[in-house]
């Protein structure tokens, strides 16, 4: 079994690095597990534990659904948290959702369903996770940062391929190993 997900790679530019560094500096005394920016990606589908024999058909489906859809870009914009500001669990940078990204996500989801994968039916909420909160003594600094970056345009991201990754969980953090790359 391999733990798999489908994603677009996000290369962290100076503005994204500066934004995340600001969050880290302001929240430095809190118990937060920060995401390694070299692992930055936009998840299109999380597959979880997947049998080895399903990888080849998955790669064929991915190429069929992605090829010809065309390169596109999106904007990393805004910041927020998952769960709530009263009980935050994940700090994220938002993604301005272009039509091409939404259509690609829908096409991949349909292909996964046709291939017998269980697909999450929740609405697609694209985001870049920058930190996972273990415990906060106070949410005041976090609230101030979220307000400061609520509508900030942070970085433009160019997408010209979609990648099937294997996620290998290690004590020092996950390692994302690209298995298959599909051009757009």
Q: Which residues are catalytic?
A: 41, 127
In whole angstroms, give the CA distance from residue 48 to residue 35: 19
Q: Are 74 and 159 in contact (CB under 8 A)?
A: yes
Residue 15 CB-half CA count within 13 A: 13
Question: Helix (H, G, I), strand (E, B), or coil: what is residue 124?
Answer: coil
The tally of CA atoms less than 13 A away on the side-chain side of residue 33 is 8
Q: What is the 8-class DSSP label of residue 54?
A: G
CA gap 18, 121 in Å, rounded: 34
Degrees (nearest 5) of the Cα angle 43, 53, 159? 25
- Placement of tokens 């994940």 in the chain: 90
């Amino acid at each position: 079994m391999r733990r798999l997900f489908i994603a677009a790679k996000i290369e962290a530019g100076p503005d994204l690095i500066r934004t995340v560094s600001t969050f880290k500096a302001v929240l430095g005394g809190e118990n937060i597990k920060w995401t390694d920016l070299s692992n930055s990606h936009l998840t299109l589908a999380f597959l979880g534990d997947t049998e080895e024999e399903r990888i080849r058909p998955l790669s064929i489906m991915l190429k069929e659904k992605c090829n010809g859809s065309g390169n596109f870009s999106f904007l990393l914009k805004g910041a927020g948290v998952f769960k709530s500001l009263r009980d935050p669990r994940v700090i994220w940078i938002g993604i301005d959702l272009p039509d091409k990204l939404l259509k690609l996500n829908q096409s991949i989801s349909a292909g996964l369903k046709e291939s017998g994968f269980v697909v999450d039916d929740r609405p697609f909420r694209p985001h870049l996770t920058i930190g996972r909160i273990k415990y906060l003594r106070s949410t005041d600094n976090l609230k101030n940062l979220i307000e400061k970056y609520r509508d900030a345009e942070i970085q433009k991201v160019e997408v010209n391929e979609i990648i099937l990754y294997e996620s290998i969980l290690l004590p020092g953090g996950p390692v994302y190993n690209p298995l298959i790359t599909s051009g757009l």
